[in-house]
């Protein structure tokens, strides 16, 4: 059989079939199952979206209530687990490596091939529910603040903000963060999702798949950009400095975080809704961000007229999370509390109809010395 050579980074290469969703970058559109994801973010709760992605259909009121109860139950952490988190933080207080280490304590790692579909789902829901509580506990332990128990009466998003910040968010701020979580629950075969599916394809446990996905998400070219966006906004200061600052960064060979996307060649629909959300919150930072965005896009259109460079989701995500009182070093972890839903859906789909992923590499080194 002739060998097939994939493009660099596997860009555009179809490697699997999925019913979970897809991204149509040329159109500026993405969807969860058979629903427009932006409309889901506008009108549904995080719990409803989790049910849609994991179980396949938009839930009834009773089913949404059931998902809310399942997530709330799994947000509750035992005293023993919190003690273990203290030991982990003593070694590393970086939230994502700490979460990666904690996953094996959250869920057992029984091979997926040895589990029933119901058992796989139970473990996936366990990770989705526990992740915000684990991250909040890691953050507060590292900051020498008391760890807060989950509040089952709150929504998943509102409880996360409360557990991190120590203060109940206003309904407006809680909904703003929930909108961000809804927009980022899944997004095609991105690096972390693909990692989760590759690991699952080996028959490995749910915990291993999530741990690997967390490692992929920690990279600044994937999930690590929101905190760097806030650094950029602070470094620019007055919007009038945007063009000079950007020119210096590009000449130095550095990337401009918050702009450009591997898939979108039209507006990133997540960024559009988050900009709308930020405008609804209002304030000096929002005004500053909007003007910087306008100036940056105009500058980039002149700098690289042959390219289509759009504002990506991280730009306004940084603004929304900052206004909600979430610490900058918790921006990417907050992304994780959302993306675990997509990982869960993909892990379950891969395990349900599995074939191990085993691509080849093309050897381009020195000629082999044959005896």
What pLDDT does 84 receive? 98
pLDDT digits (tens, 9 = 90+) for 191-222: 999 999 999 999 999 999 999 999 999 887 77
Structure tokens at 152: 């089952």
Structure tokens at 108: 């057992």
CATH 1.10.230.10 domain residues, the chain: 225-323
Identify whether the C-beta of residue 346 lies closer than 8 Å to the C-beta of residue 197.
yes
Which residues of the chain have a pLDDT value below 70? Answer: 1-2, 224-225
Is the domain defined by 21-221+329-352 classed in CATH 1.10.580.10? yes
Q: Which of 64, 178, 293, 314 is catalytic?
A: 314
What pLDDT does 225 receive? 64
CATH fold, domain 225-323, is Cytochrome p450-Terp; domain 2 (1.10.230)
What pLDDT does 361 receive? 87
Rounded CA-CA distance 170/173 in Å is 5
Per-residue CA distances from 220 to 191, 217, 227, 228, 309 (Å) = 12, 8, 9, 8, 18
CB-CB neighbours of 241 under 10 Å: 13
What pLDDT does 13 receive? 79
What pLDDT does 39 receive? 98
Residue 23 — φ and ψ, nearest 5°?
-120, 125
CATH 1.10.580.10 domain residues, the chain: 21-221+329-352
What pLDDT does 108 receive? 93
Verify whether residue 349 is a known catalytic residue.
Answer: no
Verify whether residue 314 is a known catalytic residue.
Answer: yes
Least Cα distance to 137 among 343, 330, 342, 340 occurs for 330
Least Cα distance to 290 among 306, 311, 304, 266 occurs for 311
Q: Which of 31, 156, 187, 261 is catalytic?
A: 261
Rounded CA-CA distance 187/66 in Å is 25
pTM, rounded to two decimals:
0.93
């Amino acid at each position: 059989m002739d060998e097939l050579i994939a493009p660099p980074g596997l860009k555009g290469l179809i490697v699997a079939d999925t019913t979970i969703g897809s991204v149509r970058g040329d159109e500026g559109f993405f969807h969860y199952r058979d629903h427009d994801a932006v409309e889901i973010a506008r009108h549904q709760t995080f719990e409803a979206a989790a049910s849609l992605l994991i179980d396949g259909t938009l839930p009834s009121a009773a089913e949404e209530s059931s998902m809310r109860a399942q997530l709330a139950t799994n947000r509750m952490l035992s005293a023993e687990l919190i003690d273990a988190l203290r030991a982990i933080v003593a070694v590393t207080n970086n939230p994502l490596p700490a979460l990666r280490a904690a996953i094996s304590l959250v869920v057992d790692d029984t091979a997926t091939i040895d589990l029933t579909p119901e058992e796989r789902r139970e473990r996936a829901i366990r990770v989705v529910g526990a992740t915000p509580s684990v991250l909040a506990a890691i953050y507060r332990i590292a900051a020498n603040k008391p760890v807060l128990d989950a509040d089952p009466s709150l929504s998943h998003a509102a409880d996360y903000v409360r557990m991190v910040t120590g203060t109940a968010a206003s309904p407006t701020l809680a909904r703003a963060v929930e909108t961000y979580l809804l927009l980022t629950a899944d997004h095609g075969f991105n690096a972390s999702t693909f990692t989760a599916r590759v690991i699952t394809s080996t028959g490995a446990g749910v915990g291993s798949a999530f741990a690997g996905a967390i490692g992929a998400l920690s990279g600044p070219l994937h999930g690590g950009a929101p905190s760097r966006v806030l650094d950029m906004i602070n470094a620019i200061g007055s919007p009038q400095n945007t063009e000079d600052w950007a020119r210096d960064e590009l000449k130095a060979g550095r990337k401009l975080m918050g702009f450009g996307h591997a898939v979108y060649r039209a507006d990133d629909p997540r960024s559009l809704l988050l900009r709308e959300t930020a405008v609804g919150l209002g304030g000096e930072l929002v005004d500053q961000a909007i003007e910087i965005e306008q100036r940056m896009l105009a500058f980039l259109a002149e700098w690289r007229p042959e390219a289509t460079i759009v504002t990506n989701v991280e730009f306004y995500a940084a603004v929304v999370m900052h206004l909600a009182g979430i610490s900058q070093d918790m921006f990417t972890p907050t992304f994780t509390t959302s993306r675990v839903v997509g990982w869960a859906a993909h892990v379950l789909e891969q395990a349900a109809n599995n074939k191990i992923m085993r691509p080849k590499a093309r050897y381009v080194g020195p000629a082999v010395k044959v005896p």
